[in-house]
Structure 1
Amino acid sequence: MSIEEATLPDRDERLTAERAYELYWADLLPRDARFACVGTGCSAPLICACLDKPEQNLRIRPYFRSYRLEDHAATCEVAHGRGETRTEKRPDVFEAERPAGHFRREPTPPASPAGDRSPRRVSASQTAGLPPRASHYYRLSSLVQKFLEHRRDRDLAEATVDIGGETTTYEALFRNIYRQKVVDLLGTRAVWWGTASLRATREGGYYLRFSRPFRHEDAELRPTITITARDIEAYPVRKLLRARLDKLIAESGGYCVAFVWAKPWMPKDAEKPFVRFYVNNLDHIDVRGPEILEELKNTSRVGA
């Protein structure tokens, strides 16, 4: 059984599996971290699956699960589904910046007795039985994951996300670069995606060049992205980013599918036109293996 949220007693925090995944890759959460159920009157121990997997797709993604169904209280609606009410669907929320202290380091908790796998219980009044909240995401990778899931469920045109203060559909937000007229789109911030080639630079960064082009007059312009070593070192989840990018270079020769939340940029007075995406926040880029191309068929939305 896949569970959406859990409590992390050692940090006195209720969190999603995506949040647990980020904390692990920021070296703020151990691989064997213990979680607890948020159901009414329930403190069943949970684990977070796929916590240490750098790759992420529809089959490999973080989620909470129980050791045993019997660990849940009889009153737990998470495990037993009793007393559920239909809630209004709310847009997912993509936050352009992380809040201060998002990766705060907590004191190390006292060691549990050997063999004790039950997490320390937190106040039931704070967490138990609370309804699911709107999903807030900070890494574009999380939003791409939802895009792939909505594509599979065939509801891209109905599913919504609040991004940059505006609510839009996943279908409108995600745009394939291929052969769109770039001069009409220079002011359009969207999640641009396409196949690309990736390589490491001598300086310790990465260089990415899209395989499919924008159109500009009679030319085809393949946009590029440069990720500097300095930007990576300042990034809290750099361990995860490097693990993913190095794995792609090693296993597919750098052939990948790239997503970036940005506006296309072109210089005004260059002798030869070119297009770049500038990414000043590495949360706003996601690079995945070519195996997701099948999932991406027929999901582009071409238009100005």
Structure 2
Amino acid sequence: MSIEEAITPQRNERLTAERAYELYWADLLDHDATFTCVGTGCSAPLICACLDKPEQNLRIRPYFRSRRLEDHAESCEVAHGRGEPTAGKQPDVFEAERPADHFRATTAAAQADPAAVPARRVATGAGTGLKPRPSHYYRLSSLVQKFLEHRRDKDLAEATVDIGGETVTYEALFRNIYRQKATDLLGTRAVWWGTASLRATKEGGYYLRFSRPFRHDDGELRPTITLTAKDIDAYPVRKLLRARLDKLIAEADGYCVVFVWAKPWMPKDAEKPFVRFYVNNLDHIDVRGPEILEELKNTSRVGT
């Protein structure tokens, strides 16, 4: 059984599996961190699956699970499915910026204070319980994973996400760069994706060049992305980012698939035209291995 939220005494915090994963890779959650159920009157121990995996399985996002169903209390609506009927689907939410204290380290004193532990949701009577909430994400990697899940469920045109203040379908949001006309799309922020080559730079950053091009006049332009060492060193989840990129260079010779939430950019007066994606927030890029290509066949919109 997949469980969305848990409580961790280490941080006195109720959190999603996605947040637990990020905190672990930001060195703010220990490898042996414990988690318990959020159900009414329940303290069943939970495991966070995939917590220490630098690469995400194509079919699985981080999630909590129980060791045994019987560990849950009889009053636990998480395990036993009691509560309000499932409401209509709500859009996922992709947050463009993290809160300033998103990776705030907790103090030992706060960890030791039982009163600081957030209260579990308490059922107030028959017919009440855990209400579904929209999923909030900060890393594009999580949104890509949802995109793949909706693709498998064949509901890309119905599933929606609130991103940048607008609600769009996953089908409209994800766009393959191949053969689209660059000058028509310079103001279009989307999740652009395509195959690319990846290499490390001498300065400690990374350089990505897409394999397939945008169209421009009678020619073709292959967009590029530069991830600077300065930006990476300032990124709270840099340990995870470097682990994934270095593994792709070592095992796939840098051949990868890139997703980036950005607008294509072209200089107005350059001697030779080129296209670049600027990534000021490293949460807005996701780089994956070539095995994902089978999942992506005929998945997203391609301009004519």
Under a length normalisation based on structure 1, what TM-score does the superposition of the two structures give? 0.93
- Contact kept in structure 2, 1:43 and 1:121, CA below 8 Å: no
Aligned to 1:219: 219
- For 1:110 and 1:260, locate their aligned partners in 2 and report how far apart those are by CA, in whole Å: 38
1:222-268 per-residue CA deviation (whole Å, 9 max, x = no partner) reads 00000000000010000000000001101100000000000000011
- For 2:91 and 2:201, locate their aligned partners in 1 and report how far apart those are by CA, in whole Å: 38
C-alpha displacement of 1:126: 5.3
CA separation of 1:266/1:140 partners in 2, compared to 1, >3 Å: closer, same or farther?
same
What is the correspondence of 1:1-304 to structure 2 with a 5 Å cutoff? 1-108=1-108, 122=117, 124=119, 129-303=129-303
C-alpha displacement of 1:84: 4.5
- Counterpart secondary structure, 1:178: coil
- Contact kept in structure 2, 1:33 and 1:47, CA below 8 Å: no
What value does the CA root-mean-square deviation take over the aligned residues? Answer: 2.1
- Percent identity of equivalent pairs: 84
C-alpha displacement of 1:303: 3.4
Q: Where does structure 1 lack aligned partners over 5 or more consecutive residues? A: 113-118
CA separation of 1:192/1:276 partners in 2, compared to 1, >3 Å: closer, same or farther?
same
Structure 1 residue identity aligned to 2:27: D
- For 2:2 and 2:115, locate their aligned partners in 1 and report how far apart those are by CA, in whole Å: 22
1:171-222 per-residue CA deviation (whole Å, 9 max, x = no partner) reads 0000000000010000000000000000000000000000010000111100
CA separation of 1:74/1:120 partners in 2, compared to 1, >3 Å: closer, same or farther?
farther
Task: Kindly tell me the number of residue pairs found equivalent between the two proteins.
Answer: 298
- Counterpart secondary structure, 1:148: helix
Aligned to 1:116: none
Structure 2 residue identity aligned to 1:15: L
C-alpha displacement of 1:270: 1.0
C-alpha displacement of 1:59: 3.6
1:52-80 per-residue CA deviation (whole Å, 9 max, x = no partner) reads 10101334431101121111011212112
C-alpha displacement of 1:272: 1.1
- Counterpart secondary structure, 1:287: strand
Under a length normalisation based on structure 2, what TM-score does the superposition of the two structures give? 0.93
- Contact kept in structure 2, 1:9 and 1:121, CA below 8 Å: no
C-alpha displacement of 1:93: 0.6
- Contact kept in structure 1, 2:40 and 2:120, CA below 8 Å: no
- For 2:224 and 2:170, locate their aligned partners in 1 and report how far apart those are by CA, in whole Å: 24
Query: Which is worse superposed, 60-69 or 167-176?
Result: 60-69
